[in-house]
Amino acid sequence: MLDRDKYDDIAPYNQKESEEACQRIKEHPEFLYAFAAAMFPETDDVHEKRKAFVLGALSRLDDVHSYDDFQRMITCDVFLKTVLDISVPRFSFSGQEALDPGQSYLFISNHRDIILDCALTDYALYLNGLPICEMAIGDNLLSNQFILDLFKLNGAIIVHRDLPVRAKYNETIRFSEYLVDRVMSGKSVWLAQKSGRSKDGLDVTHPSIIKMLHLSKKKEGVGFSQVIRDCRIVPVAVSYEHDPNDISKAREEILTKRNGGHYEKSKHEDMFSMVRGLREYKGGVHIAFGTPLTDRDYMTPDEVATEIDRQIHSCYHLYPTNWYCYDYLNGNRDNSDKYKDFDADRFMLRYEILAPEVKTFILESYANPVRSQLAALARA
């Protein structure tokens, strides 16, 4: 049985905390309106849309008694429906038939958007009548009480990042304990395959993430392969036809390389990225669920990471943007049948004023999933 008191500061809200958080939101609807203002693009009827969003959320808060209630009634039924209406004309999913509604899983996903990777994974589960999950997020995103409430009302498990070495190790063990015990006790969890978003389109699982899972059980004498079986890891590939943050990601990555691997984010940079990711056009978004890693004994973190990558690369949904950039960089049109109705001129216009190295980096980020998938299929 999970001792929740031991994890109170990192765990999602319990019933009492959820109800108190909802009361805080009700008492300050201006925060919800500010959130709506950031999410809705400027149009003639934008005020009415923002108002309807806020009233729709407020009207449901009295019926929220748990973070699971909030995720279903507000995040899925109000917030994500709005996001899809604004910026995602095509939302699809695959692989969900391999998931058992009576089973819990550790979903390990590629990471492209701060909020939507997990939120839309949850939405795909919700639409298919499958249990939704808790999610691991860094404490760097928690800039105020309202943001903390929103995340914890959405099942957030807080990862403390800026800690001294010894404290960080102990916190990693505690996080591992919570994560593994939560899945084993019947609640699914979402976890990114590495710390930080993929900026270059190369989705690679860090073995350290897998090694972390074993830390808490190792001291109990439980073997690595047993922990992996108990976690029932399911790889998830999230793909966006258009990445609203592609330009900012490219600039950040290039500056990081110029500064010898260091990049200092501005105070509100993550917040700007979150808003941009929510409101700007994404085209199609696809959630592809892989198959649980319960088919054999995995002996090392590298083995597990390799299989997660293989599944993510193989089931990643490639869009015309990916195939066009792949051919463009190769100087041919070998795959033109995969983007025959694609408006390439309009797509490229977005990047024309950028420095050549930034533009090339962005095009590479769209082409890399094609390269990863072709390589994975060639090894199969």
In DSSP notation, 243-300 reads -TTHHHHHHHHHHHHHTTT-----TTHHHHHHHHHHHS---EEEEEE---S-SS---S
Sign of the torsion angle spanned by Cα atoms 24, 29, 34, 36: positive
Question: Does residue 225 sit in the same domain as residue 345?
Answer: no
Question: Does residue 122 sit in the same domain as residue 155?
Answer: yes
Give me the CATH number covering residue 233: 3.40.1130
Question: Does residue 218 sit in the same domain as residue 288?
Answer: yes
Question: Does residue 301 sit in the same domain as residue 328?
Answer: no
Domain boundary among 277, 295, 317: 317
Q: What is the DSSP letter of 42?
A: P
CA dihedral 103, 104, 108, 111 (to 10 degrees): 110
**Digit-coded pLDDT (tens) for 66-113:** 999 999 999 999 999 999 999 999 999 999 999 999 999 999 999 999
Task: Give the integer Cα–Cα distance in Å for 84 and 79.
Answer: 9
Indicate the number of domains in the chain.
2
Question: Does residue 362 sit in the same domain as residue 246?
Answer: no
Domain boundary among 293, 317, 341: 317
Contacts of residue 240, Cβ cutoff 8 Å, sequence gap at least 6: 112, 113, 282, 283, 284, 285, 319
Question: Does residue 166 sit in the same domain as residue 187?
Answer: yes
Question: Does residue 278 sit in the same domain as residue 341?
Answer: no
Domain boundary among 317, 344, 365: 317
**Which structure tokens are listed for 187?**
């609640």
- Look up tokens 């995340």; give the residue: 151
Task: Give the integer Cα–Cα distance in Å for 371 and 201.
Answer: 10
What's the pLDDT score for residue 228? 97
Question: Does residue 217 sit in the same domain as residue 338?
Answer: no
Q: With beta carbons less than 8 A apart as the criterion, state whether 129 and 213 touch.
A: no
Give the pLDDT means over successive 10-residue stretches in the chain (380 positions). 81 96 94 86 82 93 96 95 95 97 97 96 97 93 91 96 90 94 96 94 97 92 96 98 96 83 74 90 98 96 98 98 98 98 97 96 98 94
Domain limits for position 205: 4-317
Question: Does residue 173 sit in the same domain as residue 215?
Answer: yes
Question: Does residue 257 sit in the same domain as residue 371?
Answer: no
User: For the chain, how many helices (H) and strands (E)?
Assistant: 16, 7
Q: What is the DSSP letter of 131?
A: P
Question: Does residue 309 sit in the same domain as residue 188?
Answer: yes
Question: Does residue 346 sit in the same domain as residue 283?
Answer: no
Overall pTM > 0.85: yes
